[in-house]
């Protein structure tokens, strides 16, 4: 697995991102160009660890540990080290339909469970994965490969995010006629409008892959809000199976005083409208609909979406940005109750915090705070936000920790634009109700993991719509799995992995 003594000889050196002050001037990807020789050296750090946890794809304490799609990581690391890049691409494509997506936006649970990470910084698996697929595109190693034969079966895939696209790609490979329906005006779902361009370029990365799938025979229909603009029963009559990959799109709200004031928005309203404006006209004639320029921005929520709001606000040239987190600041190193190979819950700054740190002189996040009320001006616009500090106290009866307000800690901060980035509750229920599907306690579509069959025959569900809000890599896992079970339903057997 790589060079036997590589982990002793070479230090971890990820491909650097462009400097924060440089990348804040544009909407291009934050990533710098790779140098293949350096990538090969990093691949040499992969050790012959016996049991490579990096590709196990377990769930520990509710969080992914290892690669959920079981990428053959030691194998492609070894091939990259030996300079056999095209073979490395072949290994990577056995398990991952879209390495260019995961290599850019996945938080890399594989690295969190890397055996080398027990004693030293982990192998730069994510960088290596992205480098393999990027070189594959550059070298022309990904020509269109439509199936040699068609089965005559028709499948509708609803939703074109990572679950929908991976499902469609697999079903097309099996020879079925696949049509993907997307309610937005562009294909990609979360990949197109949920993740900002500086993390995942839409034209050069997302649309490139969609165009390849088109050439291989997949059909795409945009502006198709199934159950509203398109009759789901008509689609059922025209197809042999339906796979629902609609995502978890209902955002968690914050119903406190002042919620209806102008200037309080869900994060996805802000991010998706910004990306649409960028793609429509590059901001050449208008500012984005929700504009952070010259404003004091408050982002409520400490996750990836919150970070994206920070980075986007800074590119709008906001006056200031603060990111609020109700949880405590993580420790600098793994705590005793967070052992390897669990996902390391440690303090780090993502790209948005790095950029804010360079502009404002500090990490924009404030921990252990809760929002009490939004305060508006005479025009009905939000202008301030009342906060209170909290501490997490264990409940004597249930044993659970709950946030308790610290008496006398209330304070007021400026807030001209507030972005709610507190996660998602579940899928939109329109299509669920139209089909009469059963749901679980969290409003997700009921469908057993690895089976993906709903309570309606011939209808499958996968991705966030089934499992709840999760990672892009889990969505790819589920899309592939749903394609396998759909193929089995259609043909009586399947050769899909």
- Is the pLDDT at 307 greater than 90? The verdict is yes
Check residue 192 and give its pLDDT.
98
pLDDT band at 397 (very low <50, low <70, confident <90, very high): confident
- Model confidence pLDDT, tens digit, residues 406-448: 999 999 999 999 999 999 999 999 999 999 999 999 999 999 9
Indicate the range of 45-54, 186-195, 309-318 predicted with least confidence: 45-54
pLDDT band at 61 (very low <50, low <70, confident <90, very high): confident
What average pLDDT is seen over the chain? 96
Structure tokens belonging to residue 5: 């003594």
Supply the pTM of this predicted model: 0.96
Which phi and psi (to 5°) does residue 412 adopt? -115, 135
Check residue 1 and give its pLDDT.
60
Check residue 383 and give its pLDDT.
98
Check residue 154 and give its pLDDT.
98
Check residue 50 and give its pLDDT.
86
pLDDT band at 57 (very low <50, low <70, confident <90, very high): confident
Check residue 286 and give its pLDDT.
78
- Model confidence pLDDT, tens digit, residues 338-393: 999 999 999 999 999 999 999 999 999 999 999 999 999 999 999 999 999 999 99
Which phi and psi (to 5°) does residue 263 adopt? 100, 0
- Is the separation of the CB atoms in 463 and 447 below 8 Å? no
Task: For each of the domains in the chain, give its residue range(s) and CATH number, in order of start.
Answer: 6-139 (1.10.1060.10), 154-249+425-491 (3.50.50.60), 253-422 (3.50.50.60)
- Model confidence pLDDT, tens digit, residues 216-230: 999 999 999 999 999
Task: Give the DSSP letter of residue 472.
Answer: H
pLDDT band at 122 (very low <50, low <70, confident <90, very high): very high
The percentage of the chain sitting over the pLDDT mark of 70, rounded to a whole number, equals 100
The percentage of the chain sitting over the pLDDT mark of 90, rounded to a whole number, equals 93
DSSP letters, 323-356, are: EEESSPPPPSS--TTS-TTS--------HHHHHH
Task: Report the distance separating Cα 485 and Cα 483, nearest Å.
Answer: 6
Check residue 445 and give its pLDDT.
98
- Model confidence pLDDT, tens digit, residues 134-172: 999 999 999 999 999 999 999 999 999 999 999 999 999
pLDDT band at 486 (very low <50, low <70, confident <90, very high): very high
DSSP letters, 360-399, are: HSS--EEESEEEEEEEE-TTSBEEEEEEEEEEEEE-TTT-
Check residue 62 and give its pLDDT.
83
Which phi and psi (to 5°) does residue 7 adopt? -65, -20
Check residue 230 and give its pLDDT.
96
Check residue 63 and give its pLDDT.
85
- Is the pLDDT at 2 greater than 90? The verdict is no
Between the two ends of the chain, the Cα-to-Cα distance in Å is 24
- Model confidence pLDDT, tens digit, residues 195-207: 999 999 999 999 9
- Is the pLDDT at 284 greater than 90? The verdict is no
Instruction: Please state the rounded mean pLDDT for residues 244-257.
Output: 97
């Amino acid at each position: 697995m790589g060079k036997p003594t590589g982990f002793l000889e070479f230090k971890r050196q990820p491909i650097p991102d462009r400097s924060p002050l440089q990348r804040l001037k544009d909407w291009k990807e934050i990533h710098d160009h790779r140098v293949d020789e350096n990538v090969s050296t990093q691949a040499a750090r992969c050790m012959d660890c016996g049991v490579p946890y990096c590709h196990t794809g377990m769930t520990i304490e509710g969080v992914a540990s290892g690669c959920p799609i079981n990428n053959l990581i030691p194998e492609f690391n070894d091939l990259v080290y030996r300079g056999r890049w095209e073979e490395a691409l072949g290994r990577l494509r056995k398990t991952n339909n879209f390495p260019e997506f995961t290599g850019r936006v996945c938080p890399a649970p594989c690295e969190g469970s890397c055996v080398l990470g027990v004693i030293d910084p982990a192998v730069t698996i994510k960088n290596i994965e992205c480098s393999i697929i990027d070189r594959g595109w550059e070298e022309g190693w990904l020509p269109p490969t439509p199936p040699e034969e068609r089965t005559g079966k028709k499948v509708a895939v609803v939703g074109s995010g990572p679950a929908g696209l991976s499902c469609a790609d697999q079903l097309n490979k099996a020879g079925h006629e696949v049509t993907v329906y997307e309610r937005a005006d562009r294909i990609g779902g979360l990949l197109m409008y949920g993740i900002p361009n500086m993390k995942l370029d839409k034209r050069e990365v997302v649309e490139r892959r969609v165009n390849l799938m088109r050439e291989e025979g997949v059909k795409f229909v945009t502006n198709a809000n199934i159950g509203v603009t398109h009759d789901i029963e008509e689609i059922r009559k025209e197809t042999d199976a339906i796979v629902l990959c609609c995502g978890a799109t209902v955002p968690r709200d914050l119903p406190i005083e002042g919620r209806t004031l102008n200037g309080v928005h869900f994060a996805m309203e802000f991010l998706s409208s910004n990306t649409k404006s960028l793609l429509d006209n590059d901001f050449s004639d208008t500012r984005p609909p929700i504009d952070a320029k010259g404003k004091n921005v408050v982002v409520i929520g400490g996750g990836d979406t919150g970070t994206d709001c920070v980075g986007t606000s800074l590119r709008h040239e906001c006056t200031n940005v603060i990111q609020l987190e109700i949880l405590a600041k993580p420790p600098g190193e793994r705590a005793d109750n967070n052992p390897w190979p669990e996902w390391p819950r440690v303090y780090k700054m993502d790209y948005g915090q790095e950029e804010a740190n360079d502009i404002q002189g500090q990490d924009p996040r404030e921990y252990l705070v809760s929002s009490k009320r939004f305060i508006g001006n005479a025009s009905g616009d939000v202008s301030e936000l009342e906060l209170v500090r909290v501490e997490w106290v264990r409940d004597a009866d249930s044993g659970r920790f709950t946030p308790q307000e610290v008496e006398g800690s209330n304070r007021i901060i400026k807030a001209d634009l507030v972005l709610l980035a507190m996660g998602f509750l579940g899928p939109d229920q329109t299509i669920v109700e139209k089909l009469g599907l059963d749901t679980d306690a969290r409003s997700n579509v009921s469908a057993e993991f690895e089976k993906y069959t709903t309570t309606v025959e011939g209808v499958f569900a996968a991705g966030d719509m089934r499992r709840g809000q999760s990672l892009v890599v889990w969505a790819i896992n589920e899309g592939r799995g749903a394609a396998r079970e759909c193929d089995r339903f259609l043909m009586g057997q399947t050769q899909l992995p």
